[in-house]
Amino acid sequence: MKTKFFFLSFMLSVLAFSRLFAQQLEDKVYKEHIQSVRLFPAGVTFDASLDAPVVSIRSEKPLVLLFDDLAFDPELYRAKLIHCDADWQQSQLKDNDFLPTFNEFNIQDYEYSVNTRIPYIHYRFELPRVTKSGNYLVKVYKQSDENDVILTKRFMIYEEIFKVGAAIVPPSQTANRQKSQQINVVVNYSAGEVTNPDGQIKVLLRQNQRWDNAKFLAKPTFMNESSKILRYESFDGSNSFDAGNEFRFVDLRFIRANGVNVANMRVETDVIFAEGNINAPRPETVYSQYLDLNGQYLIETMDRPGGNPEIESEYMLMTFRLAMEQTSNPIFLLGSLTNWGKDPEAKLEWDPKMGVYTTSILVKQGWYDYQYAYSTNGEFDPEPFEGSYFETENEYEVLVYFRNLGSRYDQLVGYIYLHPNRRRL
């Protein structure tokens, strides 16, 4: 009887762990006291944190993970890398297949915040180099308990094996030419042992570092086996994205003055409250070009020039407000600050006293991009609030995956970052 009991307990534990693990193969923060999570290639410029977490396997530039712990109690955090297939399921590789060292790393680089109303500890971790290309997830957890996860973050390591070309063009569908952007892709796979291009090669498109609307391209529209060329120039819209509009933004770099698009800033002894200007839908307005961060955010303070914004920036409770008639359709705040609508605070609530939709989010001083969107069947539609214009400046990434015959994982064999007419603060 005891044997059966222990076996049942063991199986339940394994099942619970596997379910939790399955939920971790995405960008997610699991603890409310963990804030401002960013992963990006190390750089010397102030805007390096805006770059996508993608580097070449040959690059000497490490990926850097930053996050704050508002619990303000030093904790031993550990990190582990997980290799994933193109669909973000764990691959069949073992740890020693992609790491030359033991796959558990202590996060020992941390600093206390300096004279901030809400105290926090700022952590920094340089990811170790890996020996295989592909999709990865870094998992951070407390002590040695891998089930006590505080955050997970995706990143990609690519090899330059296939030659990839891409261009942004007007959509093939005439009806969408004024509001969509099409990405045509060409892949030369002559450097690989490809016998079945349809089954061995996958091409993914991503807009503004988002995963919720990323697209795996279907079969190529043109294939030349003699020259080893694949072309993806679809006529059915599968290569196209809604261009959207330039992102709205709030400038929260000041606490003693109202930044751009900030209506009110109230500084208390132990907390700071900020309110944004009341926004309104703008689907029919004329397109206006201005600088934005393509949905990302930047940590910066103008109150302490010359200091370290990572440990000297204040946290504040920022309230976003949208003026429109009450509707039964749920409205969400999109952008990196809400993990593109996945965080609980992303959903706006109706305020009957003011007659507006609002949500309040704890944010660190800086510059924040955002948009509003309806949510239908798990998909976000910002067009009714923001409009969509072909002229909008967006960032696109093309990722080409390849699985060799008999291989246990998907290699990332080609990567292109498209930023035509790049305009960034």
pLDDT at 120 over 90: yes
1 lies in some domain: no
pTM passes above 0.75: yes
Instruction: For residues 225 and 324, state if they share a domain.
Output: no
Which band of pLDDT confidence, cut at 50, 70 and 90, is reported for residue 425? low
Q: What is the rounded CA–CA span in Å between residue 165 and residue 398? A: 9
Is 117 found in the same domain as 101? yes
Task: Say yes or no: 34 and 130 in one domain.
Answer: yes
Which tens digits make up the pLDDT trace of 122-179?
999 999 999 999 999 999 999 989 999 999 999 999 999 999 999 999 888 777 788 9
Q: Are residues 359 and 403 in the same domain?
A: no
**Phi, psi for 281 (deg, rounded to 5):** -60, 150
Residue 36 sits at the vertex; the CA angle it makes with 212 and 417, to the nearest 5 degrees, is 45
Between CA 356 and CA 388 the distance in angstroms is 23
The CA distance from 152 to 102, in Å, is 19
User: For 162-185, b where at least 16 C-beta lie within 10 A, e where not — what string?
Assistant: bbbebebeebbeeebeebbbbbbb
**For residue 72, what is the domain's CATH number?**
2.60.40
> How high is the pLDDT of residue 387?
96
* Nearest residue to 376 via CA among 345, 331, 320, 338: 331
Examine the domain organization and report whether 149 and 36 are in the same domain: yes
Residue at a domain's end among 135, 158, 181: 158
Looking at the domain assignment, is residue 424 inside a domain?
A: no
**Domain closes at, from 104, 134, 158:** 158
Domain check: are 272 and 342 in the same one? yes
Please name the residues in contact with 274: beta carbons below 8 A apart, sequence gap of 6 or more: 250, 252, 262, 264, 265, 266, 316, 317, 318, 319
In a domain, 4, yes or no: no
Q: Would strands 163-169 and 180-188 be described as parallel, antiparallel, or unpaired?
A: antiparallel
Residue 16 Ramachandran class (φ > 0 left, ψ -120 to 50 alpha, else beta)? alpha
Under the banding of pLDDT at 50, 70 and 90, the label for residue 1 is very low
Round to whole Å and give the CA distance between 60 and 63. Answer: 10
Q: What's the domain count of the chain?
A: 3
Q: Same domain for 257 and 239?
A: no
The burial of 425, by beta-carbon neighbours within 10 Å (0-12 exposed, 13-18 middle, 19 or more buried), is given as middle
Q: Tokens at residue 335, please?
A: 């952008």
Mark whether 408 and 369 lie in a shared domain. no
Is 175 contained in some domain?
yes
**Within a domain: residue 173?**
yes
146: in domain: yes
- Give the whole-angstrom CA distance, residue 277 versus residue 263: 5
- Alpha-carbon dihedral sign for residues 253, 254, 257, 263: positive
Shared-domain flag, residues 341 and 371:
yes
pLDDT of residue 424: 56
Q: Is there a contact between 361 and 318 (Cβ–Cβ < 8 Å)?
A: yes
Give 19's contacts (C-beta < 8 A, 6+ positions apart): none
Is 423 domain-assigned?
Answer: no
Do 94 and 206 fall into the same domain?
no
State whether 99 and 148 are in the same domain: yes
Residue 328 shares a structural domain with residue 342 = yes
pLDDT at position 420 is: 66
Q: Tell me the residue range of the domain where 319 lies.
A: 248-386
pLDDT band of 3, cuts 50, 70, 90: very low
Q: What share of the chain in percent tops pLDDT 70? A: 93
pLDDT at 13: 43
**Mean pLDDT, range 5-9, rounded to an integer:** 43
Task: Decide if pLDDT at 34 tops 60.
Answer: yes
Q: Is 9 part of any domain?
A: no
Last residue of a domain, one of 158, 178, 196: 158
Mean pLDDT of 27-36: 97
Across the range 302-321, mean pLDDT stands at 95
pLDDT digits (tens, 9 = 90+) for 164-221: 999 999 888 777 788 999 999 999 999 988 999 989 999 999 999 999 999 999 889 9
- What distance in Å separates the CA atoms of residue 144 and residue 146, rounded to the nearest whole number? 6
